[in-house]
């Protein structure tokens, strides 16, 4: 990824990880709710991530960077999901402004975790980035803590989204599951009714 132009708001995600979370949630909630769960709405997910990351309604610009393994040409549990045909270089407008999407595949010699960390470091070094939202697997937390501690800035709000609560670090934490459930069309009310009904 080049250092050309970054917006104030950046969502950076391990797309394979996010897709696997969507799959797990789909399987579990189809069983629990007794209905078919549709593919996750990528635009809805990105907007929920931005809201959970502290963005308020308005006319903002948000970059969504999806890093994925080169052998994966699509997110199986998201619509739209094809990286090159449907996502890369595309944009959508929502209640928070314009979201532009970039899909980046790993190179043969560099593991995805290293590409993620290098990209996070590059984004953190950009003066114009004010809000960074990261969706990464729990297995990256030690390396991520180290990078974010070294590049901490009072001018930037960094929020890390995982499926398990995490402690410590120069960042805020949110649970990835909330934005994923919204994108899958699963409401807390529906869950409550099923569990308590």
Q: What integer is the mean pLDDT of 94-122?
A: 93
pLDDT at 109: 75
Tokens in use for 113? 């975790």
pLDDT band at 110 (very low <50, low <70, confident <90, very high): confident
Query: Which range, of 54-58, 73-77, 114-118, 166-170, averages the lowest pLDDT?
Result: 166-170
Which residue pairs from 72-75 have beta carbons closer than 8 angstroms and sit at least 24 positions apart in sequence?
A: 72/15, 72/16, 72/19, 72/105, 75/15, 75/18, 75/19, 75/22, 75/42
pLDDT band at 4 (very low <50, low <70, confident <90, very high): low
DSSP strand pairing (9-14 vs 172-175): unpaired
Tens of pLDDT, residues 82-104: 999 999 999 999 999 999 999 99
Q: Does residue 65 surpass a pLDDT of 70?
A: yes
C-alpha torsion angle, residues 160, 142, 102, 50 (rounded to 10): 0
Nearest C-alpha neighbor of 104 from the set 84, 134, 77, 78 = 84
Tokens in use for 81? 């999901």
**Are the C-beta atoms of 160 and 171 separated by less than 8 Å?**
yes
Please classify residue 15 by burial: count the beta carbons closer than 10 Å to its beta carbon, then call 0-12 exposed, 13-18 middle and 19+ buried.
buried
Give 3-state DSSP helix, strand, coil % of the chain, rounded to 5. Answer: 40, 25, 35
Element (H, E) at 194: helix 188-196
Tens of pLDDT, residues 140-161: 999 999 999 998 888 899 999 9
Tokens in use for 100? 């532009």
Residue indicated by tokens 């907007």: 47
Q: What pTM, to 2 d.p., does this model score?
A: 0.94
Tokens in use for 172? 């805020």
Count other Cβ atoms within 10 Å, centred on residue 27: 12
């Amino acid at each position: 990824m080049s250092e050309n132009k970054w917006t104030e708001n950046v969502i950076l995600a391990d797309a394979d990880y996010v897709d696997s979370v969507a799959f797990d949630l789909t399987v579990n909630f189809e069983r629990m709710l007794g209905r078919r769960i549709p593919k996750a709405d990528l635009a809805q997910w990105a907007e929920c991530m931005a809201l959970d990351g502290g963005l308020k309604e308005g006319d903002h610009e948000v970059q969504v960077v999806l890093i994925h393994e080169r052998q994966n040409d699509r997110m199986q549990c998201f619509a739209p999901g094809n990286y090159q045909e449907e996502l890369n270089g595309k944009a959508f407008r929502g209640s928070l402004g314009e979201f532009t999407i970039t899909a980046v595949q790993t190179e043969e010699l560099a593991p995805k975790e290293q590409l993620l960390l290098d990209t996070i470091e590059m984004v953190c070094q950009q003066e114009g980035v004010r809000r960074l939202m990261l969706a990464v697997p729990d297995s990256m937390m030690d390396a991520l803590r180290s990078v974010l501690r070294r590049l901490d800035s009072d001018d930037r709000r960094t929020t890390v989204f995982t499926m398990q609560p995490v402690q410590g670090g120069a960042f805020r934490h949110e649970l990835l599951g909330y934005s994923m459930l919204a994108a899958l069309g699963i409401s807390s009310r529906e869950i409550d009714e099923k569990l308590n009904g």
